Amino acid sequence: MTLTSQDRTIIEATQAGLPLVTRPYAVVAESLGLSEADLIERLKHLKAQGIIRRIGAAPNHYRLGMTANGMTVWDVDDAVVDSLGEKVGGLPFVTHCYRRPRALPDWPYNLFAMVHGETRDEVVAKRSEISSLLGKACRASDILFSTRILKKTGMRLRGKEG
Amino acid sequence: MTRYLSPLERTLINRLQDDLPLVSHPFQELAQELDLSEEEVAGHIRTLRDDGLLTRFGPFFDAEALGGAFCLCAMAVTPERFEDVLTKVNAYPEVAHNYERDHKLNMWFVLATESQAAISATAEAIERDTGLPVLLFPKEREFFIGFRVNA
């Protein structure tokens, strides 16, 4: 995937967020010396390439009272892990769901689903819902609660040509 | 710290996790749906952002499509060595997030690098530095729909 220098400029100008006005692209376009239509056209192109996943907002789980977070992990039959993973990812309380390699013998789990809740009990109850959904295809599972954030840095594209 | 969310705010938080149209007036559709003006919709979202309930509004970029590489990693660290290992691991700028979790594998971090080769190189450097194995859990497939608050 090759980004033009104009793409990089657009990414840098929008990755911290858009102004919350009725025509946000017009405001950003003006600051970049582009027309609103050209900026939207370029963003559509980035979206078609999969570089932009969506336009929207991300919730702050902690501020929404979702202070318990559990990484639920599952050892699911390889033959059905992808179809079941889609279902787990579709549960409203699952924020992230990934298939990852096992690390045998210590780590038999190949499906990871992050569950947020207001309390640990709530997260544990949600784990049971996932368990029912997976049924017999799941051989073992565990839940890892986060006890401390040790480091958190934002991801930012560096200001250079690619 | 949490605050009361109005039904409208709950609806907005949920709808903003869908994809808004890439058009000159991105809030027009939402405004019609909610029987509000576009200004009002933008204003409510601004309040949610300013109150820290939404982290930001805008395009979400696929970090891997931008050319980076990412990998979830885990280590089993004994309590006696925890602070020492933590200092060494966090010193790497490639370590983007690091969480302590209640498991034998108790240190979980994400490596963010410019290339796939740099992931293995960084993991190996951390192993040498700490004398502990680093298990790599790269994403093989993502299943994602999104999180919803009770509306």
Rounded Cα gap, residues B7 and B40, in angstroms = 15
Q: CB burial class (10 A; 0-12, 13-18, 19+) of residue B104?
A: exposed
Taking the CA of residue A128 and the nearest CA in chain B, the distance in Å comes to 18
Give the residue with greater pLDDT, B5 vs A25: A25
Residues of chain B within CATH 3.30.70.3460 domain(s) are 69-137
User: How large is the average pLDDT for residues B53-74?
Assistant: 89
Rounded Cα gap, residues A56 and A17, in angstroms = 10
> Are A12 and B78 a contacting pair, CB within 8 Å?
no
Question: For residue range A28-40, what is the model confidence (pLDDT) as tens digits?
Answer: 999 999 999 999 9
Rounded Cα gap, residues B71 and A28, in angstroms = 33
In this prediction, residue A162 has a pLDDT band, given cuts at 50, 70 and 90, of: very low
User: How large is the average pLDDT for residues A117-133?
Assistant: 96
Same domain? For A72 and A134 the reply is yes
User: How large is the average pLDDT for residues A135-142?
Assistant: 97
> Are A77 and A94 a contacting pair, CB within 8 Å?
no
Buried-state track B108-142, b at ≥16 Cβ within 10 A, e below 16: bbbbbbeeeebbbebbeebeeebebebbbbeeeee
Q: What is the largest distance, in Å, between two alpha-carbon atoms of chain A?
A: 59
Residue A162 covered by a domain: no
Select from A37, A50, A61 the Cβ nearest to the Cβ of B65: A50
**What does DSSP say about strands B107-113 and A138-152: parallel, antiparallel, or unpaired?**
unpaired
Residue A150 covered by a domain: no
CB neighbours of residue A2 within 10 Å: 7
Q: Which domain holds residue A11?
A: 5-48
> Are B45 and B17 a contacting pair, CB within 8 Å?
no
Categorise residue B131: left if φ over 0, alpha if ψ from -120 to 50, beta otherwise. Answer: left
Question: For residue range A51-63, what is the model confidence (pLDDT) as tens digits?
Answer: 999 999 988 888 8
Residue A77 covered by a domain: yes
Question: For residue range B64-117, what is the model confidence (pLDDT) as tens digits?
Answer: 777 789 999 999 999 999 999 999 999 999 998 899 999 999 999 999 998 889
Chains A–B, number of C-beta pairs less than 8 Å apart: 227
Question: For residue A142, what are the β-bridge partners?
Answer: A73
Same domain? For A134 and A77 the reply is yes
- The answer to whether residue B51 scores a pLDDT higher than 90 is yes
User: How large is the average pLDDT for residues B14-24?
Assistant: 93
pLDDT for residue A158:
45
Residue A58 covered by a domain: no
Rounded Cα gap, residues B135 and B72, in angstroms = 9
Q: What is the CATH number of the domain that holds A130?
A: 3.30.70.920
User: How large is the average pLDDT for residues B21-25?
Assistant: 97
Question: For residue B142, what are the β-bridge partners?
Answer: A98
Q: Which residue has the tokens 């207001």?
A: A118
CATH code for the structural domain at B69-137: 3.30.70.3460
Select from A17, A101, A152 the Cβ nearest to the Cβ of B57: A17
pLDDT for residue B135:
97
- Comparing CA positions, the residue from B91, B104, B100, B98 lying closest to residue B130 is B91
CB within 8 Å of chain A, chain B residues 71-130 = 72, 74, 86, 90, 95-105, 107-109, 112
Q: What are φ and ψ of residue A86, in 5° steps?
A: -60, -40
Q: Which residue has the tokens 């966090």?
A: B90
pLDDT for residue B2:
64
Same domain? For A30 and A88 the reply is no
- Comparing CA positions, the residue from B109, B108, B134 lying closest to residue B121 is B134
Rounded Cα gap, residues B60 and B19, in angstroms = 10
Same domain? For A38 and A84 the reply is no
- The answer to whether residue B16 scores a pLDDT higher than 80 is yes
- The answer to whether residue A113 scores a pLDDT higher than 90 is yes
Chain B nearest-CA residue for A86: B143
Question: For residue range B125-150, what is the model confidence (pLDDT) as tens digits?
Answer: 999 999 999 999 999 999 976 556 66
Taking the CA of residue A104 and the nearest CA in chain B, the distance in Å comes to 10
User: How large is the average pLDDT for residues B44-62?
Assistant: 93
User: How large is the average pLDDT for residues B10-24?
Assistant: 93
Residue A15 covered by a domain: yes
Give the residue with greater pLDDT, A155 vs A132: A132
> Are B102 and A147 a contacting pair, CB within 8 Å?
yes
Distance of CA A99 to the CA centre of its chain: 14
CB within 8 Å of chain A, chain B residues 36-55 = 38-39, 42-43, 45-46, 48-49, 51-55
pLDDT for residue B151:
52
**What percent of chain A shows pLDDT beyond 90?**
69
